[in-house]
Chains A and B, each alone.
Chain A
Amino acid sequence: MWKTIVRRILILIPQVFLISLLVFILANFMPGDALTGKIDPNVSPVRLEELRRQWGYYDPWYVKYGRWLGNALRGDLGESTAYKIPVTTLIGERAINTFWLSLVTTILMYLLGIVLGILSGRYNEKLPDKIIVFYTFIALAMPSIVFGLINIFIFAFKLKWFPMGGSVGVKYIAGTLPYYLDRIYHMILPALTGALLYTVGIIQYLRSEIIDYKNSDFVVTARSKGVPEKKVYSRHIFRNALLPVASSMGYDIAFLLSGSIFIENVFSYPGMGKLFLESIQRRDYAVVNALIILFAVLTVLGTLLSDIIMSLVDPRIRIK
């Protein structure tokens, strides 16, 4: 198995290389550059041209790519033209925000998914199951932006339970307890929005899994031995059904990352998803490039992680 893990990580290297090349060529076609937007009356057009030449704006794309790659290999992803700070620092700041939001979303998602999935599977075809199944249909039909807007409208505007957006109030000093509490407070609504929608997969999977196990041989055996119904579920069915659910967390990374582009922008939460759109609008290619590569690598690592856990948990699945 170690062999496969190493091999899959090694395959990642040429893939990342290809992606960065692709993004670079695309960025080269983008109209305008970082200087277009900010024509400073104090800077003459001649000086602008000079700056462009100095930054290598007129170099062919492969020269630029070579330069970028050389720097990237040394851990330097360039400087954000919009924020005037190194890309790694900028993304680092935003990544922490996305990380916390994703973590809270994941926790809520699994809590909801496991509880509802178990209820739905256990009371299959009865009222609780029917309600939950109907809920999954609604959630599947709900684009995250619409759900986010409706939640803002109801809970932030009408009821004023939660803030409209952002990640923390301005009056708090970083590092103090009220500061962290306020950050959590800002996270609740976006995290709930994501969790309520993304939990559907877990509910559906658990439900069908439990229904399948209900009449399987080992459950029938347990029942015929006189194991009380409650224990049949807790000891025999849930244990088997929950393992694959728990080990699929790695797959969620891709889901949460692409979801963050929608959720963070609806709630104007300063994470990587919001940074990505801002950078595109500001033609801040160094950031765009780094973010796309980061998302791709995280997605692949997440999938790999899930495959590994899956094969450890269930000996029937062997990764090849």
Chain B
Amino acid sequence: MEEKKEIDLDNTRSSQKGYNQPPSFARLVWREILHDKFALVSFLLFLAIMFTVFIGSTYADTGSSGKVNLALMNKPPSEEFPLGTDGSGRDMLTQLFLGARNSILIAFGVTILCGIIGILVGLVSGFYGGRVDNVIMRILDFLAMLPTLMFIIVIVSLIPKYNVFTFIVVMTIFGWNGKARLIRAKTLQQSSLDYVQASKTLGTRNIVIMLREVLPNIASLIIVNLTLNLAANMGLETGLTFLGFGLPFSTPSLGTLISYARIPENMQRRYWQWLPASLLIVVMMLCINFVGQAVKRAADAKQRVV
């Protein structure tokens, strides 16, 4: 009863003012996805993959991934092992579930952390300007010059014991730079607009202006950037793990599974050990990119299909 009253109140209020709220960004994105067959299929497929992987990995026998079973070594796909077994006799399907889960977790973790740091630094730098901006920009310039990939590899080889979390932190250290730069540029643009000046004159606290007034106005751009970045991070993690500078062997990621192909024997005759992981990563990145394109169109009124 209470709730209904609330809604009614809202409706009358907006009609009294005589305008309709513009559709929210989430609504625009959803509309864009519904109108793009590729994006819709990608979105559903990605959800399905995530669902399967997380359900599959919780039911997976995690204890078995550390064990070696010589009797079951390198078995081709069969009814018992739908994707065969690896050189230590482990079920590849279980490995695939665990690996995909770790890869997805890392990709999301890195993207979200980079987003948060980028938003904070970018907002502060762009909003305050002047000396603060100068100092931050010098730091960003220096970070931009570092060969990121090499530094990640050096640091990973430094840490004696690492897991999913440490890996996320290492990748984040070198990943937030670009985001901060983008958000700073957009904040700088917004800060010169009248609404920010008006709000300042009214005596709104800076932090409120930044987080509740500027941020919502640039949110759609940030979401676009982060969505497209998700796929890139997934690819980077896979690549690093493949080279042996990502997750340790006992914690599989899709990169670990793909690196089975580095042994010529496996590549030539045991396609079931590396091909499923390779295809899965491509399909996931493809899905993310298709959805990302729809999000991008939704953020830019000029490109919108609907």
List residues of A whose CB falls within 8 A of some B CB. 15, 18-19, 23, 26-27, 29-31, 137-138, 140-146, 149-150, 152-153, 157, 164, 257-258, 261-262, 265, 276-277, 280-281, 288, 291-292, 295-296, 299-300
Contacts and interface: CB of A to CB of B under 8 A. Distances in A.
Interface string B134-155: 0000000010011111110111
Interface of B: 142, 145-151, 153-155, 157-158, 160, 231, 235, 238-239, 242-245, 255, 258, 261, 264, 267-268, 271, 274, 278, 281-283, 285-286, 288-290
A80 B261 CA distance: 30
A121 to B, nearest CB: 16
A29 B245 CA distance: 17
A204 to B, nearest CB: 11
Contact of B160 (A26, A31, A142, A291): A31
Contacts of B282: 138, 141-143, 146
Max count, chain A CB within 10 A of own CB: residue among B231, B242, B288: B242
A285 to B, nearest CB: 10
A30 B160 CA distance: 9
Contact of A26 (B158, B245, B274, B281): B158
B235 A143 contact: yes
B150 A291 contact: yes
A295 B150 contact: yes
Contacts, number: 100
A91 to B, nearest CB: 14
A23 B147 CA distance: 11
A146 B145 contact: no
Contacts of B147: 257-258, 292, 295-296, 299
Contacts of B286: 137-138, 141
Contacts of B151: 292
Q: Does more than half of chain A's interface fall in helix, strand or loop, or is it mixed?
A: helix
A152 B239 CA distance: 16
Nearest to A27: B154
The 6 A-B residue pairs with the shortest CB-CB distance in the complex, in nearest-first order: A141-B285, A141-B286, A143-B235, A295-B147, A146-B278, A258-B149
B258 A149 contact: yes
Contacts of B244: 277
A152 B157 contact: no
A149 B267 contact: yes
B198 to A, nearest CB: 31
B29 to A, nearest CB: 19
A143 B267 contact: no
Contacts of A152: 267
A157 B149 contact: no
A141 B231 CA distance: 7
Contacts of B245: 277, 280
13 contacts: A137-B286, A140-B231, A140-B285, A141-B285, A141-B286, A143-B235, A143-B282, A145-B242, A164-B264, A257-B147, A261-B150, A296-B147, A299-B147
A261 B150 CA distance: 9
A95 to B, nearest CB: 15
A43 B70 CA distance: 39
Interface centre among B243, B244, B258, B264 (most CB of A within 10 A): B243
A18 B149 CA distance: 18
A143 B158 contact: no
Nearest to B292: A140
Nearest to A11: B141
Nearest to A289: B154
Given A18-B142, A137-B286, A138-B286, A292 B150 contact: yes
B150 A141 contact: no
B231 A262 contact: no
B154 A292 contact: yes
A240 B158 CA distance: 49
Given A149-B274, A295-B150, A299-B145, A277 B285 contact: no
